[in-house]
Amino acid sequence: MDLRKERFETLGGLPISPVPSSKDSTGDEEAPGQAPYTRGVHETMYRSRYWTMRQYAGFSSAEETNTRFRTLLDRGQSGLSVAFDLPTQLGMDSDDPLSFGEVGRVGVAIDSIDDMRSLFSGIQLDQVSTSMTINSPAIILLALYVAVGEEQGILPENLRGTVQNDILKEYIARGTHVFPPEQSMRLITDLIEYCAENHPAWNTISISGYHIREAGATAVEELAFTLSNALAYVDAALSTGMDIDDFAPRLSFFFGCHNDFFEEVSKFRAARRLWYRLMNERYHPKNPKSSMLRFHTQTAGVTLTAQQPLNNVARVSYQALSAVLGGTQSLHTNSYDEAIGLPTDESATIALRTQQILAEETGVADVVDPMAGSYHVEALTDRIESEAYALICEIEEMGGALTALKSGFQQRRIHESAWKQTTDVEAYNRKVIGVNHAKMAEDPDVEGQMIDPTIAEQQTKKLSELRQNRDDAQSMAALSALTVAAATDENLFPLILTAVKAKCSVGEIMNAMKIEFGTWMAPSGF
């Protein structure tokens, strides 16, 4: 095995077991890297390699975001994570009247292949792993990324990263869905199938509990709803004729990390064990990686406060610590000013440094699952697994995640949990420092990242130039072919790839599919 260093010891020089195991103290036979993966998916975990430090970033134009990306990479970030603005998340161009006031505000505006080129200018895509938080138009954004990779001369098998591509949680908790559920699931399986054949190193879906938790779910609900959605995606992929081992090894997960330190550590341990159990009960994969839950973590944005915002540095630090102790493969640490505005260069750097301090100074990366054997953590792990499994079974009895969300079941549960948390804070049963406890007369003066007010005009000008300089006949033919294919069972990814290369915009491609697919509004749960 490859290790980061030859000798592991404490700050005071005390030796640490080469591969810490529960057998050292409790006699438990389960070891890290072995099924059911409670203790981690790798035998040596961070002793061999740190988690990927992947800071989520995106604002204003592709050029502005490219500057932030390159700064973070220069300062030690090991993976890119793209935040898209709201119009892009909804598959709308920046010059769409409905985009007014939102262009470049909560992420970067990407309208065409020109923007994608600018976003990764000077960044060789086979030298970095890229995560893209995009769902309804995920298949389009990945096609743009693939096209830019081709322009850089990169072999398809060398593109590494993740596209979120998780539409069910949009219906349940977040709201950036466009198409009806069945058509959305078709786009997801088309992407999974295409990547399985052409981009084997790409994670085709990041099944997200983060947004479910941010909406107000409990830890158990986050885990149950996320894995229930994952089962729906697996069933959808299998229905196309794929084998479980063709795609399951490239499934990845995305969880939030909230305030209750031990509950979060236990949630991550329970998640691995429960996914192994579900996969083997239902699908019997032959490849061990098919039942191995790998996940990215983001510290909880909903816990950040605009009051006394520097306190958020402490919140983010211990949330990040619980994610590392829980065995995450990748981590984003929120910036302390995110309750006020987009992170500044300074606050984003502090967030990255938080991870680097955890890795290099605390010793936590030298120990595999150090919480194992704790009576409290082991009991919580068992309890979370049991309650989440029961909730998954309840959803399955309704017909699965897709059927349940159409009735508003998950939405209703999240609303009830969010209401309880809010009333607990308002009744002072739950203390939040700076909000209802330890308040100050004046809070520190903190400003978030300023956005160029002319960004919408800039993007509109770019789109105008794009349409003037392209071959209109070629572009319209690509869009027409996509609409026709949407009414068939043909995989749409190659057609979308052709369209982005023909300089069709994201909005034009979405509209070409809307002709056949239509749109849909999810029930609220009430």
Q: Is residue 293 part of a domain?
A: yes
6-15, 331-340, 431-440, range with the lowest pLDDT: 6-15
pLDDT for 21 beyond 60: no
Report pTM: 0.93
Q: By percentage, how much of the chain surpasses pLDDT 90?
A: 87
Query: What are the two backbone dihedrals, phi and then psi, of residue 70, each rounded to the nearest 5 degrees?
Result: -70, -35
What three-state secondary structure class fits 292? coil
Is residue 39 within 8 Å of residue 369, measured between CB atoms? yes
Structural domain count of the chain? 1
pLDDT digits (tens, 9 = 90+) for 143-167: 999 999 999 999 999 999 999 999 9
What Rg do the C-alpha atoms of the chain give, in angstroms? 23
Q: And the tokens for 277?
A: 């159990």
Reported confidence tier of residue 138, pLDDT bands at 50, 70, 90:
very high
The backbone torsions φ and ψ at residue 522, rounded to the nearest 5 degrees and listed phi first, read -80, 150
In a domain, residue 160? The reply is: yes
Closest CA to 172 of 190, 187, 162, 184: 184
H-helix or E-strand spanning residue 161? strand 161-163
Whether residue 75 lies inside any domain: the answer is yes
In a domain, 450, yes or no: no
pLDDT over 50 (residue 389): yes
Show the DSSP H helices in 326-454 as ranges. 345-361, 375-397, 401-407, 409-426
pLDDT at 10 over 90: no
- Say which residues have a Cβ less than 8 Å from residue 490's Cβ, sequence separation at least 6: none
Digit-coded pLDDT (tens) for 110-135: 999 999 999 999 999 999 999 999 99
pLDDT for residue 416:
97
Q: Which of 172, 179, 243, 219 is nearest to 408 (CA)?
A: 172
Closest by alpha carbon to 326, among 350, 360, 277, 293? 293
Higher confidence at residue 109 or residue 7? 109
**pLDDT tens string 294-319:** 999 999 999 999 999 999 999 999 99
CATH number at residue 57: 3.20.20.240
Asked whether residue 373 is domain-assigned, the answer is no
Asked if the structure places residue 36 within a domain, the reply is no
The answer on pLDDT for 497 being more than 50 is: yes
pLDDT at 23: 54
**Which pLDDT does position 1 carry in this prediction?**
59
Tell me: pLDDT of 375 over 90: yes
Tokens standing for residue 55:
């800071």
Does residue 13 lie in a domain region? Answer: no
Range of the domain at 206: 49-364+402-426
Sheet holding 205-208, edge to edge: 202-203, 161-163, 130-133, 79-83, 52-57, 330-332, 295-299, 251-257, 205-208
Q: What is the pLDDT of residue 29?
A: 66
Query: Using one digit for the tens of pLDDT, what is the confidence trace for 247-279?
Result: 999 999 999 999 999 999 999 999 999 999 999
Return the pLDDT at 523. 78
Decide if 194 is inside a domain. Answer: yes
Tokens 């898209």 found at: 84
Supply the DSSP string of 48-88, one letter for each residue.
Answer: TSPPEEEEEE--B-HHHHHHHHHHHHHTT--EEEEEBPHHH
